[in-house]
Amino acid sequence: MSDRTPALRLEGIVKTFPGVRALDGVSFDVMPGEVHALMGENGAGKSTLMKVLGGIYQPDEGRIFVGEVPAVMTSPLEAKAKGIVFIHQELSLAEELSVAENIYLGELPRKRFGLVDWARLEQQTNAILAKLRVGFDAKTRVGDLSIANQQMVEIARALTVEAKAVIFDEPTASLTDAEKVVLFDVIAGLQAQGVGIIYISHRMEEIFKITDRISVLRDGSYRGTVKTAETDEESVTQLMIGRKLDLSRNEIHHALGDVALEVRGLSCADLYTDVSFEVRRGEVLGFYGLVGAGRTEIAETLFGLRDPSAGQILLDGRDTVIRSPAAAIALGISLVPEDRKGQGLVLGMNCRDNMTLPQVDDLRAGPFVAEGAEVAIFDQYRDRLDIRTPGWKQLAGNLSGGNQQKIVIGKWLSMHPNVLIVDEPTRGIDVGSKSEIHNLIRELAAQGYAVIVISSEMPEILHVSDRIVAMYSGRIMRTFTAEEVTEDKLIQAISGLTPENVA
């Protein structure tokens, strides 16, 4: 294989954003007919790299070759024309249109007078669907398909062009086992045609089953490529985690208080099942798992945004029903949500107003908002959290990600909550702010807050947590104490490997 020209080659790709070096000289290649895994933790630079390949970002340095030809892509369309095809994790389908129309979106075969050539469209589509061996036909409305079948439509799209390289981004996230088998067959078929495949996944089991080589990214830089046959899960994990300077393990402290929150047998529709845990004052409880494991949904239930279908929530030992965020806030529960811009902030509002939003009813002088008291609160938390902004009048939308996150944290700290839930505290935040936020979470616990941290980043969860709940597919697989947890145990627990073996 190695004497041939790579299907796709990256050479020293660098991409910087203000304050962040997102990609720092990434080079690797994919041979024709090879399945090449790309691994790395969240935030390691995978998605930035994919956007560079897809023509959404332009690299600052470095070159991309498709075959022997240097390729400059300025749009997703151009990338596709050059033979680089993406199977996205988020579906981009028009639900009201048929399978065939979605597959040939923007490229419907034409007859004269701008008419659609339905016969040709159907024939071409059915030929592609036959390869995928799916149970629906060209005329089916996409909105009537299951999520997995919609994903198949997305994959079918990739087969319409002479693809040189196909990139699968977490393709199995929503697939059942049977559907995975079909997907792997499709990948094998592409391989046989000499297409180079980049396969992005967190799931070790799959990686070891179908890939030929594995490349690893960490902190935006390339950490090497290994042959899958010559390595094992442990070594790959080592490459991914590395030795992070600032992220030591949490030092356990034992000044724990009473149980602030206890959850017993909580279930919510098919989102999560039979979840039980407790958090004490002075403790940080980490929730670790893959995206979609049910962690965020638990937080949303505790914050009154979802009604549980079974189970109990006990606050300070009292059985409690939480029907709305307003009720949750009144009970002393606060949530720093995962989607900072969509859920955490009103971007068109200034920093001060954002920070005092949950308590604006209480900050009153007569019928009016006591703006002086608001400014005082803002100043207090600006200093405490070291928020860098020209002043409170600055719109939240104009701040950097780290400072935005601090505004959201400040918003909830100023409420003096009993239980603080932080969902993905450092997503999309530069390294400096990350460690500040980690330290802050530790500090809060030391001051007696009960804190729940949900994170998809292992170093983060290891760094801040006193205990770690590992979730897989809506269930708690195991709860670790900081003393007993190891990285591989954790990875195995959240990958759905049998918990008995792990223990």
The residues that touch other proteins, with contacts defined as CB under 8 A, are 76-77, 92-97, 101, 105-108, 110, 113-116, 118, 141, 143-146, 268-271, 300, 303-306, 324-326, 328-330, 335, 337, 342-349, 353, 357-358, 360-361, 363-364, 367-369, 411
* Residue 141 vs 475, nearer CB to other proteins: 141
Question: Which among 480, 417, 479 is positioned nearest to 450, based on CA atoms?
Answer: 417
* Residue 256 vs 349, nearer CB to other proteins: 349
Question: Which among 312, 314, 323, 291 is positioned nearest to 424, based on CA atoms?
Answer: 291
* Residue 360 vs 446, nearer CB to other proteins: 360
Q: Beta-carbon neighbour count of residue 25 at 10 Å? A: 15
Specify the 3-state DSSP secondary structure of 402: helix
Report residue 272: phi and psi, to 5°.
Answer: -155, 160
* Residue 256 vs 369, nearer CB to other proteins: 369
Tell me how far apart the alpha carbons of residues 47 and 171 are, in angstroms, rounded to a whole number: 14
* Closest distance of CB 254 from other proteins, Å: 34
Whether the Cβ atoms of residue 449 and residue 257 lie closer than 8 Å to each other = no
* Residue 249 vs 364, nearer CB to other proteins: 364
* Residue 340 vs 382, nearer CB to other proteins: 340
* Residue 115 vs 127, nearer CB to other proteins: 115
| Stretch (H or E) spanning 178 | helix 177-192
**Helix 431-446 vs helix 401-413: angle between axes, to the nearest 10 degrees?**
10
* Closest distance of CB 146 from other proteins, Å: 7
Tell me how far apart the alpha carbons of residues 490 and 501 are, in angstroms, rounded to a whole number: 12
* Closest distance of CB 362 from other proteins, Å: 9
The token pair at 235 is 């070594």
* Closest distance of CB 365 from other proteins, Å: 10
Tell me how far apart the alpha carbons of residues 12 and 23 are, in angstroms, rounded to a whole number: 9
Sequence letter at residue 86: F
* Residue 101 vs 262, nearer CB to other proteins: 101
Task: Using CA atoms of 420, 424, 429, 431 in order, give the dihedral in degrees to the nearest 10.
Answer: 90
Whether the Cβ atoms of residue 326 and residue 343 lie closer than 8 Å to each other = no
* Residue 166 vs 240, nearer CB to other proteins: 166
Specify the 3-state DSSP secondary structure of 3: coil
* Closest distance of CB 300 from other proteins, Å: 7
* Closest distance of CB 118 from other proteins, Å: 8
* Closest distance of CB 435 from other proteins, Å: 26
Tell me how far apart the alpha carbons of residues 83 and 101 are, in angstroms, rounded to a whole number: 20
Tell me how far apart the alpha carbons of residues 54 and 78 are, in angstroms, rounded to a whole number: 8
Whether the Cβ atoms of residue 387 and residue 229 lie closer than 8 Å to each other = no
* Closest distance of CB 427 from other proteins, Å: 16
Whether the Cβ atoms of residue 469 and residue 286 lie closer than 8 Å to each other = yes
Q: For 401, which DSSP code?
A: H
* Residue 1 vs 360, nearer CB to other proteins: 360
Question: Which among 467, 490, 458, 460 is positioned nearest to 279, based on CA atoms?
Answer: 467
* Residue 72 vs 330, nearer CB to other proteins: 330
* Residue 201 vs 296, nearer CB to other proteins: 296
Residue 354, Cβ density class (10 Å: 0-12 exposed, 13-18 middle, ≥19 buried): buried
Tell me how far apart the alpha carbons of residues 41 and 247 are, in angstroms, rounded to a whole number: 14
Specify the 3-state DSSP secondary structure of 201: coil
Tell me how far apart the alpha carbons of residues 344 and 428 are, in angstroms, rounded to a whole number: 14
* Residue 43 vs 54, nearer CB to other proteins: 54
The token pair at 48 is 């930035």
* Closest distance of CB 423 from other proteins, Å: 11
* Closest distance of CB 95 from other proteins, Å: 6
* Closest distance of CB 152 from other proteins, Å: 14
Question: Which among 180, 162, 187, 193 is positioned nearest to 85, based on CA atoms?
Answer: 162
* Closest distance of CB 129 from other proteins, Å: 16
* Closest distance of CB 244 from other proteins, Å: 31
The token pair at 487 is 């990285």
Whether the Cβ atoms of residue 454 and residue 424 lie closer than 8 Å to each other = yes
